[in-house]
Amino acid sequence: MDTAPKTKHLYLQLLDLIRKNKSCVLATVTGSQGSTPQKPGSSAIFDKKKLVAGTVGGGAVELSIGKIAAEAIDSKKSGYFRFDLENDISDVDASICGGGMSILVDAAPEKHVKTFDALKESENKRVHGVLVTLCASGLAGCSAVTRFWITEENLKNSSGQIPEDAVTAATEMLSRRNPDDFREIVLPGSKEGEEKLVFLESVVPSPQLIIAGAGHVGKALSHYGKLLDFEVIVWDDRTEFANKFNLPDACKILSGSIDESLGNIIADRDTFIVIVTRGHKKDADVLKKFIGSKAGYTGMIGSRRKIVQVRELFLKSGWATIDQWEKIYTPIGLEIGSKTVQEIAVSIAAQLIQVRNQLKNQ
């Protein structure tokens, strides 16, 4: 049963605002040099009075962009701005020069509603895509913004819509699935002093954290998982544990038999599975479901003695090969001398972060 909505990506929040006819501006960090408060790809939504969601760096940068956004809502003129963070932050240079921080302000995101609708559809299907943004920029700033949503399914049809260099970059980004991948391509413009800019942002669905077991450790881990931007799904066959009151941080709560609930999950490299049920047999039953899957992480709690026994059972019964077993993280968590429930959950969360970051670079 669903007990809480999935955490919304910033673009999905933007789409909701557009559907409600709320006037807003989308600002995106597109480049940075030296020490900056946010990396390329960081975005924020502003209305005429305040920051609505996200961030482009906080402090003076965000204050300046907020003022620019308020004016852009009225003028409907997008802009590409450079901030020299070593000097007076109130000085904004609209030309493509200097260093520091570059921010694209899209004054009319409602023009791209079809693109954001396609992004939402992909998000619901857990499909990775690349948001391609085209803009012409010169001394007068950015004159127009055009956006495309590219997936493996429509990549071949994108030729002619976006520059060939962007098609090549999008192809590589789709193969890598790195959520931090943000690229800029600079092309010559039609007029002297102008440049065509292409920004490509890899948009990967939040990794799924499947927690089998809603006891003390599972509950604590669901809290940390939410803080770490996982889509947290918790399963337990005990309804007194598998409920919103016990698991307020879970995006989805599953109950019933393993086959009826966990059996419907298709695990891929963005799936992280943590097995912390109430007993050895139940742990083994869940592990049997996922040990041969493509999950990026599968971990099982237990003492070293228990792990030896379960390993022997799996190999003897033909439920796993030696290679498959060696991919299981067990004992689970990083070795930090954990004793309490919260410390154990922290050690598991730290290992999830470690593996997730490793997968980004593969």
Return the CATH number at 305: 3.40.50.720
Which has more pLDDT, 166 or 195? 166
pLDDT of residue 138: 52
Any domain includes 4: no
DSSP string spanning 183-195? EEEEEE-SSTT-E
* pLDDT-derived band at 187, boundaries 50, 70, 90: confident
Percentage of residues in the chain with pLDDT exceeding 70?
Answer: 89
Residues 259 and 127 in one domain: no
Alpha helices in 22-157 (DSSP H): 59-75, 113-124
Domain that holds residue 319: 208-360
> E strand or H helix at 347, and its extent?
helix 341-360
> Of 203, 221, 246, at which residue does a domain stop?
203
pLDDT of residue 3: 35
Exposure string over 201-227, b if 16+ CB within 10 A, otherwise e: bbbbbbbbbbbbbbbebbbbbbbbbbe
Of the candidates 83, 77, 87, 108, the residue with the CA atom closest to the CA atom of residue 95? 83
Prediction pTM value: 0.76
> Of 171, 203, 235, at which residue does a domain stop?
203
Averaged over 330-342, what is the pLDDT?
Answer: 92
Is residue 92 predicted with pLDDT exceeding 70?
Answer: no
Any domain includes 2: no
pLDDT of residue 107: 92
Residues 194 and 212 in one domain: no
Is residue 123 predicted with pLDDT exceeding 60?
Answer: yes
Residues 213 and 175 in one domain: no
> Of 172, 203, 234, at which residue does a domain stop?
203
Any domain includes 1: no
DSSP string spanning 234-276? EE-S-TTTSSTTT-TT-SEEE-S-TTTTGGG----TTEEEEE-
Residues 164 and 48 in one domain: yes
Residues 147 and 286 in one domain: no
Any domain includes 162: yes
Residues 119 and 214 in one domain: no
pLDDT of residue 158: 80
Averaged over 252-260, what is the pLDDT?
Answer: 90
Q: What is the tens place of the pLDDT at every residue in 265-315?
A: 889 889 999 999 988 888 999 999 999 899 999 999 988 888 999 999 999
pLDDT of residue 8: 52
Is residue 234 predicted with pLDDT exceeding 70?
Answer: yes
Distances (CA, A) of 301 to 40, 126, 138, 311: 38, 28, 58, 13
pLDDT of residue 4: 32
Q: What is the tens place of the pLDDT at every residue in 15-40?
A: 999 999 999 999 999 887 766 667 88
Residues 179 and 253 in one domain: no
- Among the listed ranges 23-37, 120-134, 341-355, which one has the minimum average pLDDT value? 23-37
- Describe the crossing of helices 304-317 and 280-290 by its angle, rounded to 10 degrees: 50
Of the candidates 297, 266, 267, 265, the residue with the CA atom closest to the CA atom of residue 362? 297
Q: How many domains does the chain have?
A: 2
pLDDT of residue 360: 79
Tokens linked to 4: 């809480």
Q: What is the tens place of the pLDDT at every residue in 38-76?
A: 788 889 999 998 999 998 877 778 888 999 999 999 988
With tokens 């920051």, the residue in question is 51
DSSP string spanning 294-341? --SEEEE---HHHHHHHHHHHHHHTS--HHHHHTSB-S-S--S---SH
Averaged over 173-187, what is the pLDDT?
Answer: 89
